[in-house]
Structure 1
Amino acid sequence: MNEEIELKELLQKNKMYQQVLDDIEIGIHVVNAEGKTIFYNKKMMEIESMEMEDVLEKNLLDVFSFAQNGYSTLLEALHKGSSIKNAKQTYYNNKGKEITTINNTFPIIDKGIQIGAVEIARDVTKYERLLRENLFKKGNTKYTFESIIGSSDKIQEVIDTSKRATRTNSSILIIGETGTGKELFAQSIHNGSNRMSKPLVSQNCAALPDSLIEGILFGTRVGAFTGAVERPGLFEQADGGTLLLDEINSMNPTLQAKLLRVIQEKTFRRIGDTKDREVDVRIIATINEDPIDAISKGRLRKDLFYRLSVVSIFIPPLKERKQDIEDLVQFFIDKYNHLFAMNVKSVSSEVWSMLLEYEWPGNVRELEHIIEGSMNLLEHEEILTYSFLPIQFRNKPQFQSERNTKKDLDEMLIQKGRNIKPLEEYMEEAETYYLKKALKHHEFNVTKAAKALGMSRQNLQYRIKKWKISKE
């Protein structure tokens, strides 16, 4: 009798706890030691646009997907037994909807044994979207370090170096291939420095003939040559601020020598003038090739290189930081959704594979053009598939070869004269086949394979265990 009373009281308490947890205005998600959801309150359902049956008793990684090179804070607390406080996380539900939350996550420990983990989440999805939209509304965008997309170690190292460079007035040389975002970093450095309230003046040295660029840089005096007028140059316009000289290796050696003098002496003279003028300008120069090659081929003076490269910033090409591709693709999709009044959610798994396999000679700029070109072909579709990719991209030889391989896979899974396999079985075999292929290519190095596949190491390890993939 006492046991029945105790059981009744326990059930009543559980209902009360459930009621309280459902009524509070924060999301609560609890998983057990295997990573399966055992508690999921109403606020969490609202935040993630999910139904209880879609999540309860299911493994977290079977329901949600997490950003490139990202991880689940909930699983991190579960696997490492550590608390995580005020961590921002962006992830996607089973319908591809983007969710951004601020999480406090804790392991659940009973008698010294970890039996699960709990996450307390605040929804900031709308706030993040508003920030993004405000960025797109600025017609005269001033880039800052917050504008730089990418979470890879390589790009984060460049950001850290650039942030340190904001503290001084030393000259900077930014080195990177075309399309890597050199001007983005230059603007970010200027806007993070004590010169941010002064002008940032930019000039592409390759865009003007030698006969004009000297006058543009240093200015002219009336009568200096036929038709000359009193005109300040870029150095005067940038006084107190920053002068960005793009593609410095396109400037002729004679003008490079004059530029070196200005940097050293902090004075210059207008064309046709006899008076030196003082100037306070920070120089940021960019170059799209290896400076040593430019020096050896006479395109860059050695003395100017040493003067400019007091701080050298190397921006890695996109092919060396492919784990940033997912973040970049989502950013560009959001950007053109806003500009084109569309509602594209993501890209298909086949397109993801192509984007990760491609070497991107045009870097981030080329990636943006691919996404923009593809979205111009969409109508009401929410997923960008292979058929909408620009024809010149689809016709790359490497993709034609991959398409042939895919046909072989189709023949293996759906053979002529036999019944079509259930979709779930087909997807399992296709995923297993592709994961094995990626792991074999990287000699079963899970970290490298996960990077190439565009998923976290944690996610790949889960799938290896799930599909019982072993090194053969």
Structure 2
Amino acid sequence: MNGNTNGDDQMQMNKIYRYILDKINVGVHAVNKEGRTIIYNKKMREIEGMSTEDVLDKNLLDVFSFDSNGNSTLMEALRDGKMVQNAKQTYYNNRAQEITTINDTFPFLEDGVRIGAIEIARDVTKYERLVRENLLKTGDARHTFDSIIGSSDRLQEVIEAGRRAARTSSSILITGETGTGKELFAQSIHNGSPRSSKPFISQNCAAIPDSLLEGLLFGTKKGAFTGAVERPGLFEQAEGGTLLLDEINSLNPALQAKLLRVLQEKTVRRVGDTKDRAVDVRIIATINEDPVDAIADGRLRKDLYYRLSVVSLFIPPLRERKPDIKDLASFFIGKYSSLFGMDVKRLDDEVLGLFHSYDWPGNVRELEHIIEGSMNLMEYGDTLSYLHLPIQFRNKPKLLHREKTQSADLMESNIQKGQTIKPLDEYMEEAEISYLKKVLSSHDFNVTKSAEALGLSRQSLQYRLRKWNLQED
């Protein structure tokens, strides 16, 4: 009876241990004396992107691989009885995905004999990737003011203001909707300034979690937190040059306060350090909403706004500088014509009219995407026409409304001129036949491609061709 009770108790305790192991927020990996995995908890599976079946009861070195100059801290603990703490290790899972962890590893002893080893791991893979691949690269400031396309008065005023601001080292706040070209202006200012030979570093503040951004901006001191190494931040890396902070309103208030201190004192203190380091960096910040609204809603500190907006530039949205649409479209046509090996030279008047009637909520970036998408649909010819426009663009309510309005205006014009008014059925029949012929001709009478352009099924188009006795190849 007692034996059964003890066995039940042991089973119950094992369940509790497994439950605890899967609930804790660190990875736990243990191997026996042969190096085979005997414990592999849920968090470790998440860190390494592996399943229990991939790892359990398999030799560690058969599942994971390590760089030639790197060793498994777990196997070292098993082989040498070596205990390590806060050791950073980079290795690869069975799909060659890179993993970086900070480990506490120690041998497991029984009566003084090593019978296994256990490792407790914290994941820093994302942090390391951000630092290496994105944040520690010097920005490539390729653009100048001559790169900015458009001759409208609104745009030329901003360009002239930017040229004047480039002569000094004052902070600049660039305001503009998404897709208006704020970074283009920031690069142009840097390249037009005395700092042009120094680094230009760009960082989107909305792309990085707050928990990582402070160390990336200001740098870290070794030992400041688990896995922290001695590393300069973006301010130090941009020394003598320009640091672009994109979407500054996405920073939390605490980080905004620390940024304000750096701007005021012209010094930076690495996370975990007590030493202030002098920095000479010009700050250009961007915001994609009205700063007054951002301040009122608590997304931007008023004192930081005043410090950043020594010079303020407002990039007008494309809907407010529509005279630039033709030049921009021509530029993008040339760009993608060269890239795709095509010989497209222009827009037809109908497309240009539609572009001028559209509000462009995505601004210049949206226009570029529409041009690129249209040229992907072209087979031949040197003119981008309505039929080449992506279906999702043609189906936008405002464009559909404009087409209906144009048809109505044409009918009204005919009536006013005293022309014979046709029955509606006859008018619609002629209009459909004319349009079908135009689409078929533009697609070399290929029914499948014509149907796709019209947003019809092949069967539906074939029915209409038979109905109107149109030629089908």
**Cross-structure match for 1:142:** 142
Matches within 5 A, 1:371-450: 371-408=371-408, 412=414
Residue deviations 1:100-135 (CA, integer Å, cap 9, x gap): xxxxxxxxxxxxxxxxxxxxxxxxxxxxxxxxxxxx
Alignment CA distance shift 1:174-1:294 (3 Å) = same
Alignment CA distance shift 1:287-1:141 (3 Å) = closer
Tell me if 1:287 matches 2:287: yes
**Cross-structure match for 1:226:** 226
**Cross-structure match for 2:211:** 211
Aligned counterparts of 2:143 and 2:280: Cα–Cα separation in 1: 23
Aligned counterparts of 1:294 and 1:257: Cα–Cα separation in 2: 15
Give the AA of the match of 2:215.
G
The Cα shift of 1:401 comes to 2.0
Aligned counterparts of 1:154 and 1:187: Cα–Cα separation in 2: 20
Residue deviations 1:246-280 (CA, integer Å, cap 9, x gap): 00000001000000010011111101111111100
**Cross-structure match for 1:304:** 304
Matches within 5 A, 1:14-29: none
Conserved? CA contact 2:180–2:317, under 8 Å: yes
Aligned counterparts of 1:201 and 1:344: Cα–Cα separation in 2: 36
Structure scoring higher RCO (CA < 8 A, sep ≥ 6) equals: 1
Alignment CA distance shift 1:260-1:232 (3 Å) = same
Alignment CA distance shift 1:414-1:158 (3 Å) = farther
Aligned counterparts of 1:146 and 1:311: Cα–Cα separation in 2: 21
Give the AA of the match of 2:166.
T
Aligned counterparts of 2:421 and 2:234: Cα–Cα separation in 1: 69
Aligned counterparts of 2:358 and 2:393: Cα–Cα separation in 1: 10
The Cα shift of 1:382 comes to 1.1
The Cα shift of 1:314 comes to 0.6
The Cα shift of 1:140 comes to 5.6
Aligned counterparts of 2:248 and 2:197: Cα–Cα separation in 1: 25
Aligned counterparts of 1:266 and 1:382: Cα–Cα separation in 2: 55
Matches within 5 A, 1:86-101: none
Other structure's SS at 1:305 match: helix
**Cross-structure match for 1:158:** 158
Q: What TM-score do the two structures reach when normalised by structure 2?
A: 0.57
Residue deviations 1:138-190 (CA, integer Å, cap 9, x gap): x9660000000000000000000000001110000000110000000000000
Alignment CA distance shift 1:261-1:414 (3 Å) = farther
The Cα shift of 1:414 comes to 9.9
Other structure's SS at 1:364 match: helix
Give the AA of the match of 1:200.
F
**Cross-structure match for 2:333:** 333
The Cα shift of 1:408 comes to 4.2
**Cross-structure match for 1:436:** none
Alignment CA distance shift 1:414-1:170 (3 Å) = farther
Residue deviations 1:362-404 (CA, integer Å, cap 9, x gap): 1100110110110110011211111111111101112212222
Other structure's SS at 2:206 match: coil
Give the AA of the match of 2:198.
K
Matches within 5 A, 1:231-250: 231-250=231-250
Aligned counterparts of 1:150 and 1:169: Cα–Cα separation in 2: 27
Give the AA of the match of 1:329.
A
Tell me if 1:187 matches 2:162: no
Aligned counterparts of 1:381 and 1:371: Cα–Cα separation in 2: 15
Task: Give RMSD over aligned pairs.
Answer: 2.0
Aligned counterparts of 1:282 and 1:402: Cα–Cα separation in 2: 47
Aligned counterparts of 2:294 and 2:157: Cα–Cα separation in 1: 25
**Cross-structure match for 1:263:** 263
Other structure's SS at 2:372 match: helix
Give the AA of the match of 1:304.
L
The Cα shift of 1:405 comes to 3.3
Aligned counterparts of 1:344 and 1:312: Cα–Cα separation in 2: 39
Residue deviations 1:391-444 (CA, integer Å, cap 9, x gap): 1110111221222234346664897699xxxxxxxxxxxxxxxxxxxxxxxxxx
Alignment CA distance shift 1:270-1:397 (3 Å) = same
Conserved? CA contact 2:224–2:273, under 8 Å: yes
Aligned counterparts of 2:168 and 2:404: Cα–Cα separation in 1: 55
The Cα shift of 1:347 comes to 1.2
Conserved? CA contact 2:149–2:324, under 8 Å: yes
Other structure's SS at 1:194 match: coil
Which consecutive residues of structure 2, in runs of 5 or more, have no partner in the other structure? 1-138, 427-473
Paired positions, count: 281
Other structure's SS at 1:361 match: coil
Give the AA of the match of 2:159.
I
Aligned counterparts of 2:407 and 2:324: Cα–Cα separation in 1: 29
Aligned counterparts of 2:319 and 2:236: Cα–Cα separation in 1: 39
Other structure's SS at 2:188 match: helix
Residue deviations 1:278-300 (CA, integer Å, cap 9, x gap): 10000000000000100010000
Q: What TM-score do the two structures reach when normalised by structure 1?
A: 0.58
